[in-house]
Structure 1
Amino acid sequence: MDTFKITLAAIVLSVVSSFAQETTQQPDAAPKKVKNVEAGFDGMLAMSYGSSTFGINVGGPSLKYKFTKKFKVGVGAFPSLIIADDKAVPRLAVSPIIEYNNWMFITPYYGYDNKDKQIWTFGLGYKFI
Protein backbone atom coordinates (compact mmCIF):
# COMPACT_ATOMS: atom_id res chain seq x y z
CA MET A 1 0.00 0.00 0.00
CA ASP A 2 2.92 2.31 0.70
CA THR A 3 4.27 1.86 -2.81
CA PHE A 4 0.83 2.64 -4.20
CA LYS A 5 0.70 5.93 -2.25
CA ILE A 6 4.23 6.85 -3.30
CA THR A 7 3.48 6.03 -6.94
CA LEU A 8 0.23 7.99 -6.84
CA ALA A 9 1.95 10.97 -5.22
CA ALA A 10 4.72 10.86 -7.86
CA ILE A 11 2.15 10.80 -10.68
CA VAL A 12 0.19 13.72 -9.17
CA LEU A 13 3.39 15.78 -8.70
CA SER A 14 4.50 14.96 -12.23
CA VAL A 15 1.17 16.05 -13.73
CA VAL A 16 1.02 19.24 -11.64
CA SER A 17 4.61 20.18 -12.47
CA SER A 18 4.05 19.57 -16.21
CA PHE A 19 1.02 21.91 -16.20
CA ALA A 20 2.96 24.50 -14.20
CA GLN A 21 5.85 24.35 -16.68
CA GLU A 22 3.55 24.71 -19.66
CA THR A 23 1.88 27.82 -18.28
CA THR A 24 5.15 29.55 -17.42
CA GLN A 25 6.73 28.86 -20.80
CA GLN A 26 4.01 30.70 -22.76
CA PRO A 27 5.48 33.86 -24.37
CA ASP A 28 3.63 37.18 -24.30
CA ALA A 29 1.16 37.21 -27.15
CA ALA A 30 0.94 41.03 -27.34
CA PRO A 31 3.89 42.52 -29.27
CA LYS A 32 5.17 45.93 -28.28
CA LYS A 33 3.95 48.76 -30.48
CA VAL A 34 6.52 51.15 -31.94
CA LYS A 35 5.55 54.82 -32.11
CA ASN A 36 6.18 56.10 -35.64
CA VAL A 37 4.56 59.50 -35.11
CA GLU A 38 5.95 61.98 -32.62
CA ALA A 39 4.71 65.40 -31.63
CA GLY A 40 6.49 67.89 -29.42
CA PHE A 41 8.76 70.89 -29.22
CA ASP A 42 12.11 70.92 -30.99
CA GLY A 43 15.05 72.45 -29.15
CA MET A 44 16.60 73.63 -32.41
CA LEU A 45 18.47 76.61 -33.83
CA ALA A 46 18.59 77.21 -37.60
CA MET A 47 19.68 79.77 -40.16
CA SER A 48 17.91 80.18 -43.49
CA TYR A 49 18.24 82.39 -46.55
CA GLY A 50 16.13 83.10 -49.63
CA SER A 51 13.99 85.80 -51.29
CA SER A 52 16.58 88.42 -50.20
CA THR A 53 15.73 87.49 -46.61
CA PHE A 54 17.90 86.03 -43.87
CA GLY A 55 16.15 84.15 -41.05
CA ILE A 56 17.21 82.99 -37.62
CA ASN A 57 14.81 80.26 -36.53
CA VAL A 58 14.32 78.48 -33.22
CA GLY A 59 12.44 75.25 -32.64
CA GLY A 60 8.77 75.24 -31.97
CA PRO A 61 5.97 72.68 -32.04
CA SER A 62 6.29 69.96 -34.65
CA LEU A 63 4.68 66.77 -35.88
CA LYS A 64 6.98 64.15 -37.44
CA TYR A 65 6.82 60.67 -38.89
CA LYS A 66 9.77 58.46 -37.95
CA PHE A 67 10.95 56.24 -40.83
CA THR A 68 14.01 54.97 -38.94
CA LYS A 69 15.58 55.80 -35.61
CA LYS A 70 17.63 58.59 -37.24
CA PHE A 71 15.44 59.76 -40.18
CA LYS A 72 12.20 61.74 -39.68
CA VAL A 73 9.98 63.89 -41.90
CA GLY A 74 7.34 66.32 -40.73
CA VAL A 75 6.10 69.87 -40.36
CA GLY A 76 6.67 72.49 -37.69
CA ALA A 77 6.24 76.10 -36.62
CA PHE A 78 9.33 78.20 -35.92
CA PRO A 79 9.44 81.51 -34.08
CA SER A 80 11.89 83.50 -36.20
CA LEU A 81 13.70 86.77 -36.63
CA ILE A 82 13.91 87.72 -40.31
CA ILE A 83 16.19 90.36 -41.72
CA ALA A 84 14.91 91.94 -44.94
CA ASP A 85 15.27 95.46 -46.37
CA ASP A 86 17.78 96.28 -43.58
CA LYS A 87 15.14 95.66 -40.90
CA ALA A 88 14.84 92.84 -38.37
CA VAL A 89 11.25 91.70 -37.86
CA PRO A 90 9.95 88.83 -35.68
CA ARG A 91 7.73 86.37 -37.57
CA LEU A 92 6.31 82.91 -37.10
CA ALA A 93 7.33 80.53 -39.89
CA VAL A 94 5.73 77.26 -40.93
CA SER A 95 7.99 74.71 -42.56
CA PRO A 96 8.35 71.15 -43.75
CA ILE A 97 11.18 69.38 -41.89
CA ILE A 98 13.61 66.68 -42.96
CA GLU A 99 15.60 65.47 -39.96
CA TYR A 100 18.60 63.15 -39.94
CA ASN A 101 20.27 62.53 -36.57
CA ASN A 102 20.24 66.02 -35.06
CA TRP A 103 20.48 67.95 -38.35
CA MET A 104 17.34 69.47 -39.86
CA PHE A 105 16.72 70.80 -43.37
CA ILE A 106 13.89 73.35 -43.31
CA THR A 107 12.11 75.58 -45.83
CA PRO A 108 10.36 78.24 -43.71
CA TYR A 109 7.40 80.16 -45.14
CA TYR A 110 6.82 83.56 -43.48
CA GLY A 111 3.76 84.80 -45.34
CA TYR A 112 3.76 87.98 -47.44
CA ASP A 113 5.98 91.05 -47.26
CA ASN A 114 4.83 94.67 -47.75
CA LYS A 115 5.13 94.26 -51.56
CA ASP A 116 2.71 91.29 -51.57
CA LYS A 117 5.48 88.80 -52.32
CA GLN A 118 5.65 85.48 -50.53
CA ILE A 119 8.70 85.02 -48.31
CA TRP A 120 10.34 81.58 -48.52
CA THR A 121 13.78 80.67 -47.26
CA PHE A 122 15.86 77.47 -47.12
CA GLY A 123 18.05 76.55 -44.22
CA LEU A 124 19.87 74.12 -42.02
CA GLY A 125 19.40 73.68 -38.28
CA TYR A 126 20.79 71.65 -35.42
CA LYS A 127 18.57 70.04 -32.78
CA PHE A 128 20.06 70.31 -29.30
CA ILE A 129 17.27 68.65 -27.31
Structure 2
Amino acid sequence: MYNHNNRMKKKLQLTVVVAFSLLFAAKAQDASHEKPRSEISLEGMVGVSFGNNFYALNVGGPALFLVLNPDLKIGIGALPSIYLLNGKAGARLGVSPRIDYKNLVFIAPFYHRDTTGEWIWSVGMGYKFHKKN
Protein backbone atom coordinates (compact mmCIF):
# COMPACT_ATOMS: atom_id res chain seq x y z
CA MET A 1 0.00 0.00 0.00
CA TYR A 2 2.80 2.39 0.93
CA ASN A 3 4.49 1.73 -2.42
CA HIS A 4 1.26 2.43 -4.35
CA ASN A 5 0.68 5.80 -2.55
CA ASN A 6 4.29 6.79 -3.10
CA ARG A 7 3.99 6.02 -6.81
CA MET A 8 0.75 8.05 -7.07
CA LYS A 9 2.39 10.96 -5.26
CA LYS A 10 5.34 10.94 -7.68
CA LYS A 11 2.97 10.79 -10.69
CA LEU A 12 1.03 13.77 -9.33
CA GLN A 13 4.24 15.73 -8.74
CA LEU A 14 5.47 14.90 -12.23
CA THR A 15 2.12 15.96 -13.73
CA VAL A 16 2.22 19.29 -11.87
CA VAL A 17 5.83 19.95 -12.95
CA VAL A 18 5.04 19.13 -16.61
CA ALA A 19 1.88 21.28 -16.55
CA PHE A 20 3.73 24.29 -15.13
CA SER A 21 6.60 23.78 -17.58
CA LEU A 22 4.20 23.76 -20.52
CA LEU A 23 2.37 26.80 -19.18
CA PHE A 24 5.56 28.84 -18.80
CA ALA A 25 6.87 27.66 -22.17
CA ALA A 26 3.62 28.78 -23.82
CA LYS A 27 3.84 32.17 -22.08
CA ALA A 28 7.45 32.61 -23.21
CA GLN A 29 6.49 31.63 -26.74
CA ASP A 30 3.62 34.16 -26.79
CA ALA A 31 5.95 36.94 -25.65
CA SER A 32 8.42 36.17 -28.42
CA HIS A 33 5.70 36.36 -31.10
CA GLU A 34 4.42 39.80 -30.10
CA LYS A 35 4.74 42.19 -32.99
CA PRO A 36 6.84 45.20 -32.05
CA ARG A 37 4.99 48.49 -32.42
CA SER A 38 6.31 50.71 -35.14
CA GLU A 39 7.77 54.01 -34.00
CA ILE A 40 6.85 55.57 -37.35
CA SER A 41 3.68 57.68 -37.36
CA LEU A 42 2.19 60.86 -38.74
CA GLU A 43 1.61 63.84 -36.53
CA GLY A 44 0.12 67.12 -37.69
CA MET A 45 -2.63 68.41 -39.97
CA VAL A 46 -3.24 68.20 -43.71
CA GLY A 47 -6.14 69.94 -45.42
CA VAL A 48 -7.55 71.33 -48.63
CA SER A 49 -9.11 74.72 -49.23
CA PHE A 50 -11.00 76.29 -52.13
CA GLY A 51 -11.62 79.85 -53.28
CA ASN A 52 -12.45 81.76 -56.48
CA ASN A 53 -10.32 79.96 -59.12
CA PHE A 54 -8.08 78.91 -56.22
CA TYR A 55 -7.26 75.46 -54.78
CA ALA A 56 -4.71 74.69 -52.07
CA LEU A 57 -3.19 71.76 -50.23
CA ASN A 58 -2.36 72.94 -46.71
CA VAL A 59 -0.31 71.47 -43.89
CA GLY A 60 -0.55 72.61 -40.30
CA GLY A 61 2.14 75.00 -39.17
CA PRO A 62 2.51 76.86 -35.89
CA ALA A 63 -0.76 77.82 -34.23
CA LEU A 64 -2.15 79.46 -31.12
CA PHE A 65 -5.25 77.84 -29.58
CA LEU A 66 -7.88 78.46 -26.96
CA VAL A 67 -8.71 74.97 -25.68
CA LEU A 68 -12.40 74.81 -24.77
CA ASN A 69 -12.41 71.08 -23.91
CA PRO A 70 -10.36 68.02 -24.91
CA ASP A 71 -12.27 67.74 -28.21
CA LEU A 72 -12.68 71.40 -29.20
CA LYS A 73 -10.08 74.12 -29.84
CA ILE A 74 -10.29 77.44 -31.67
CA GLY A 75 -7.33 79.45 -32.83
CA ILE A 76 -5.26 80.96 -35.58
CA GLY A 77 -2.38 79.37 -37.40
CA ALA A 78 0.06 79.54 -40.27
CA LEU A 79 -0.53 77.11 -43.13
CA PRO A 80 2.31 76.34 -45.53
CA SER A 81 0.44 75.65 -48.78
CA ILE A 82 0.89 74.47 -52.34
CA TYR A 83 -1.76 76.18 -54.44
CA LEU A 84 -3.22 76.45 -57.91
CA LEU A 85 -4.46 79.96 -58.86
CA ASN A 86 -5.93 80.55 -62.33
CA GLY A 87 -4.14 77.44 -63.57
CA LYS A 88 -0.71 78.42 -62.20
CA ALA A 89 0.93 76.53 -59.34
CA GLY A 90 2.87 78.07 -56.49
CA ALA A 91 3.74 77.81 -52.82
CA ARG A 92 2.70 80.34 -50.22
CA LEU A 93 2.26 80.69 -46.48
CA GLY A 94 -1.36 81.27 -45.54
CA VAL A 95 -2.85 82.50 -42.28
CA SER A 96 -6.08 80.99 -41.06
CA PRO A 97 -8.57 81.03 -38.25
CA ARG A 98 -9.27 77.41 -37.41
CA ILE A 99 -11.64 75.28 -35.41
CA ASP A 100 -10.36 71.86 -34.36
CA TYR A 101 -13.00 69.32 -33.36
CA LYS A 102 -11.50 65.93 -32.47
CA ASN A 103 -9.58 65.00 -35.66
CA LEU A 104 -11.40 67.42 -38.00
CA VAL A 105 -10.09 70.91 -38.71
CA PHE A 106 -12.18 73.67 -40.26
CA ILE A 107 -10.01 76.37 -41.86
CA ALA A 108 -10.46 79.65 -43.74
CA PRO A 109 -6.94 80.46 -44.99
CA PHE A 110 -6.09 83.73 -46.68
CA TYR A 111 -3.00 84.55 -48.71
CA HIS A 112 -1.41 87.83 -49.80
CA ARG A 113 -0.24 88.29 -53.40
CA ASP A 114 2.75 90.60 -53.36
CA THR A 115 2.60 91.38 -57.09
CA THR A 116 -0.99 92.66 -57.07
CA GLY A 117 -1.48 93.53 -53.39
CA GLU A 118 -4.71 91.51 -53.27
CA TRP A 119 -5.78 88.97 -50.66
CA ILE A 120 -6.95 85.53 -51.71
CA TRP A 121 -9.55 83.94 -49.43
CA SER A 122 -10.51 80.28 -49.23
CA VAL A 123 -12.32 77.84 -46.97
CA GLY A 124 -11.61 74.18 -46.34
CA MET A 125 -11.25 71.20 -44.09
CA GLY A 126 -8.40 69.14 -42.79
CA TYR A 127 -7.59 66.04 -40.79
CA LYS A 128 -5.30 65.89 -37.74
CA PHE A 129 -2.97 62.96 -37.22
CA HIS A 130 -1.90 62.12 -33.67
CA LYS A 131 1.10 60.08 -32.60
CA LYS A 132 -0.08 56.82 -31.08
CA ASN A 133 1.35 56.06 -27.65
Q: TM-score range by the shorter chain?
A: 0.5 to 0.7
Give the match's secondary structure for 1:76: strand
Equivalence for 1:55: 56
Measured in 2, the distance between the counterparts of 1:90 and 1:49 equals 15
Measured in 2, the distance between the counterparts of 1:77 and 1:89 equals 17
* C-alpha RMSD of matched pairs (Å): 1.4
**1:128 aligned onto 2:126:** no
Equivalence for 2:94: 93
Size of the aligned set, in residue pairs, is 88
Equivalence for 1:111: 112
**Partner letter of residue 127 of structure 2?**
Y
User: Residues 78-126 of structure 1, C-alpha deviation per residue, up to 9 Å, x if partnerless?
Assistant: 1001101211100000000101001000000111364443201000000
Task: Give structure 1 stretches of 5+ with no counterpart.
Answer: 1-41
Measured in 2, the distance between the counterparts of 1:125 and 1:113 equals 26
The TM-score with structure 2 as length reference comes to: 0.62
**Partner letter of residue 105 of structure 1?**
F
- Asked if the contact 1:113–1:119 (Cα under 8 Å) also holds between the matched residues in 2, the reply is no
> Segments of 4+ in structure 1 off by > 6 A?
none
Task: Give structure 2 stretches of 5+ with no counterpart.
Answer: 1-42
User: Residues 40-90 of structure 1, C-alpha deviation per residue, up to 9 Å, x if partnerless?
Assistant: xx7100000012100100011011011111010000001001101211100
Between Structure 1 and Structure 2, the one with more helix by share is 2
**1:73 aligned onto 2:62:** no
**1:46 aligned onto 2:47:** yes
The TM-score with structure 1 as length reference comes to: 0.64
Measured in 1, the distance between the counterparts of 2:66 and 2:82 equals 27
Measured in 1, the distance between the counterparts of 2:47 and 2:70 equals 22
Identity level (%): 43
